[in-house]
Amino acid sequence: MQDQAQTLTITRPDDWHLHLRDGAALASTVPWSAAQFARAIVMPNLKPPVVDTAQALEYRARILAARVPGSDFQPLMTLYLTDRTPPQEIARAKASGAVFGVKLYPAGATTNSDSGVTDLRNVHGVLEAMQREGMPLLVHGEVTDSQVDVFDREAVFIERHLQAIRRDFPGLKIVLEHITTSHAVDFVLANDARDARGAPLLGATITAHHLLHSRNAMFRGGLRPHYYCLPVLKRETHRLRLLDAACSGDPRFFLGTDSAPHARGAKEADCGCAGCFSALHALELYAQAFEQAGRLDRLEGFAAHFGADFYGLPRNAGRVELRRQAWTVPLSLDYMDTSIVPVDAGETLHWRVAPAGAAATQA
Ligand code: DOR
Ligand code: ZN
């Protein structure tokens, strides 16, 4: 094709769902994300989890200290909701100006979720405070009931819990994180309430790997642990609904990589960890998905406008350039004293972010 665009310049994007980990990992994870994104909502599922504002501020300082000189990357912190979170913590979090959401992990749903919420009735007071303060609830939407098929856990969570949260806290801002099913898309589409600023009260993040892959990717020619994440990849019909939603231009759907680094050995194990690492090449992966759908023109809204609008933050002023250029995702990257395998390792991508300083401008 001759008339294909060779470059695509968009507003500098943000990542509205990211795992940076802590300690020595930050020396890798922070520069990787900062090379692609201006800001990121940073998940609190550390060991031990980030449960209060003081811990969030300390974690934020460690992230800022891991930036390369000249980087203006901004971590937007979150708290980890537990059965014992005091409702008064929400006002403290809001007043800090550094905490932008509170994450609900149903206990046992995923990596480091042991301290999560065992019964939503235990957090009603906190949810009330969040509704009052305008503090978003970020939801890992899966039931943990072992009787429920792992592929159905998101749909059942929506039915059993999310409908009730929406009904009981109609003014609460909610992000359904890393959605994977048509049920989640339908739930978001059916809830169009707005906050006082006219921004949606309910939004959803979508990962690049859920836009690009169905569950077949986990079993292509053998067991592929680097495609295992939670919520797990679903069947192709769901992937197509997600791609449709992401490319629709509806501001309730926005970018969240859920890039979740685990050392190679922790994934290639007899009980491997859940998580796909995509921070290195997130924007390129999203561009690949949007191009497949013939909607590259909708990438900018999804990646750089809608999330900021949802959170009531200014859109970034800088711009970033993607160039059409075939390149191969590395098979492995150095990560602390070990290595990490990026999602789609060894595959060819067709877009590449221009290096900062070339065309990317800092806001
Ligand atoms: O696959 C996942 N990995 N899903 C999550 O919800 C957590 C994440 C992690 O922290 O590794
Ligand atoms: Zn996550």
What is the structure's pLDDT at 357? 56
What is the structure's pLDDT at 4? 82
CB of residue 316 inside a 6 A radius of ligand 1 = no
**Which of 20, 21, 22, 110, when mutated, tests ligand 1's pocket best, judged by the most ligand atoms within 8 Å of its CB?**
110
What is the structure's pLDDT at 114? 79
Chain-centroid distance, C-alpha 117: 20
Count CB atoms within 10 A of the CB of residue 244.
Answer: 15
What is the structure's pLDDT at 358? 53
H helix runs in 66-181, sequence order: 88-96, 124-133, 153-157, 163-168
What is the structure's pLDDT at 355? 81
What spatial distance separates the first Cα and last Cα of the chain, rounded to whole Å?
35
Digit-coded pLDDT (tens) for 133-149: 999 999 999 999 899 99
Digit-coded pLDDT (tens) for 38-91: 999 999 999 999 999 999 999 999 999 999 999 999 999 999 999 999 999 999
The H-or-E segment that residue 292 falls in is helix 282-292
Would you tell me the crossing angle of helices 236-246 and 182-190 to the nearest 10 degrees? 40
Residue nearest to atom 3 of ligand 1 (CA): 275
CB of residue 278 inside a 6 A radius of ligand 1 = no
Tell me which residues have their CB within 5 A of the ion that is ligand 2. 258
Ligand 1 center–CA 325 separation, angstroms: 30
User: Residue ranges of the chain with pLDDT lower than 70?
Assistant: 1-3, 356-363
14-315 belongs to which homologous superfamily?
A: Metal-dependent hydrolases (3.20.20.140)
Residue whose entry in the numeric block shows the structure tokens 């406008």: 305
What is the structure's pLDDT at 113? 77
Residue 258 annotated in active site: yes
CB of residue 140 inside a 6 A radius of ligand 1 = yes
Catalytic residue among 14, 15, 250, 258: 258
Token pair in block for residue 20: 């940076």
H helix runs in 182-270, sequence order: 182-190, 208-212, 236-246, 264-267
State the burial class of residue 15 (Cβ atoms within 10 Å of its Cβ: 0-12, 13-18, 19+).
Answer: buried
pTM, entire model: 0.97
What is the structure's pLDDT at 3? 67
Provide the residue ranges of all domains of the chain, joining segments of one domain with +: 14-315
